[in-house]
Each structure stands twice: as structure tokens, then as C-alpha cells.
Amino acid sequence: MIRLCSLGSGSSGNASFIGNGAAGLLLDAGFSGKELKARMAAAGIDAGQIAGIVLSHEHTDHCRGAGIMARSLGVPLFVNERTWGKVKHMAGKVADVVHVANGAEIEIGGLGVTPFSIPHDAADPSAFVFTAGGTRLTFITDTGYPTGLMAQKMKEADYLVLEANHDPDMLKAGPYPWELKQRIASRTGHLSNEDCRSLLADALHAKLQGVTFAHLSETNNNPDLVRLMGRQLLDGLRVPFEVATQSKPGPMICIE
């Protein structure tokens, strides 16, 4: 069994709890330490369960509270070397930093954790496969375009967390500077609703238990568009889905 709870997901901050019923970890820590603790409490997560903090990449909406949470909880920070080189000035002194290369599998609190490479404008960004017993969760956000490796990892999953960052038309018409629009839409930017739909459609399989759409832009996307996409792709297969929000924790999801 794997337990999953989005503590917040979007352009202003990202963090998720992933556990196995006895222990767990934080994937990213993109809020202040105070806010992360408040969101964990609101979601009913015991801070004593946290065995480590895993970072996907160095952008502040994913690592803002990593150092203070590692110190406060007394747990290791798991991060690849190139990402740590970008994060360490922000994180400050962390007693236990464990370098984990993309493609290498480790265990944290009874969970198997395997990071893998994705295209994004960061030093060495990672998506993840989490395992517990025979259960498998694939977690992919902050990626510019679908890759064959992503598709492979998704086809093996019992549950998926997948980025649906922006609607291309809303991005083009929106208020962002042209340079930022180009960055978001680039092959090292963020996954559009269209690319999310294509990637998910190819990955659907009989044992898929659910999907969470994540990292929606509050400016360049509309949750109703993502819900419509979810219904079109998943309702006929009776696969439930969630749309993660920036403002508050989502439900605790149990994946068997």
C-alpha cells in the first residue's frame, strides 16, 4: 500500500506526502517550514512519520523549505549532486545529505524510491517511481515534453501523478512577458494540457487505480479544463482522478 497526499501543487509551491502506512517522506518542500507543518497537520500527517525529504530539482517552488524542514524533523535530505549544488546556498546547513543519482533505486522509510531524468530547465531534474510491496506510484511534474521513458514508467504504475500545467491558448493570451511564455512552452518548460492528455491516453491500462493532475498554473490554466480532460479520458474506464490545488492539501489517497 502507498498513501499519497498533495500538500499543495502549483507555481507558488509544491510538496507531497508519500507513505506506506507506517512511515513516509516529503517529496519536495516548496513552502516555508511553518506552512508545511500547518498543511501536514491539516492533512492528519504525523511529522514523526517523515523519514526523509526528497527533492526533484532546485526551483524555489520545490525546495524553499527543504533545509529548515530537514533540520526541524531531524531527517536526511535526498537529492542528486548537481541539484544539491544549486540548492545548498538556500538550504543552509543540513546534517545529512544523501546524493541519489537518476536511475538509482534507494529505500526511505520502507518505500522504494527511483528517480529518473526528465526535460526541464534545471541542473538535473527528476521524476520518480515509488514502490511499496507490489504497489507502484509514478510521479511526473515539471517537464517540458513527453518522453519514452515517462511512458514506460507510467505503463507500469498503479497510480499516476502527472503535470497539467497550462492551456496553450491561455498562455499565449495571458499576462506573462513573452520570454516567460516561451520558457513555459519550450521543451524544457512545463507540460501543457494537450501533452498531458496525449501522454496519459497512451499509458492507460487495466490496473490503473487513479490519477492526480498536478502543478496547474493559476494564471495559464483552468481546473475545469483539466477536469473535463479527466472525465473524457477516465470516466469510461471508471478510473477516479483528482486535481491538485495550490491553496490547500488534497485528500489522503490509498493505493493498493
* Total domain count, the chain: 1
Q: Report if residue 221 sits inside a domain.
A: yes
Q: Report if residue 92 sits inside a domain.
A: yes
C-alpha cell at 110: 520502507
Q: What pairs with residue 241 in β-bridges?
A: 211
- State residue 68's pLDDT score: 98
Q: DSSP character for 58?
A: S
Cβ contact 62:9 at 8 Å: no
- State residue 156's pLDDT score: 87
Q: What pairs with residue 113 in β-bridges?
A: 106, 130
Q: Report if residue 256 sits inside a domain.
A: no
- State residue 146's pLDDT score: 97
Tens of pLDDT, residue by residue over 9-40, are 999 999 999 999 899 999 999 999 999 999 99
Residues of the chain with pLDDT under 50: none
Q: Report if residue 110 sits inside a domain.
A: yes
Q: Report if residue 29 sits inside a domain.
A: yes
Q: Report if residue 253 sits inside a domain.
A: no
Find the domain containing 191 and state its range: 2-245
- State residue 174's pLDDT score: 97
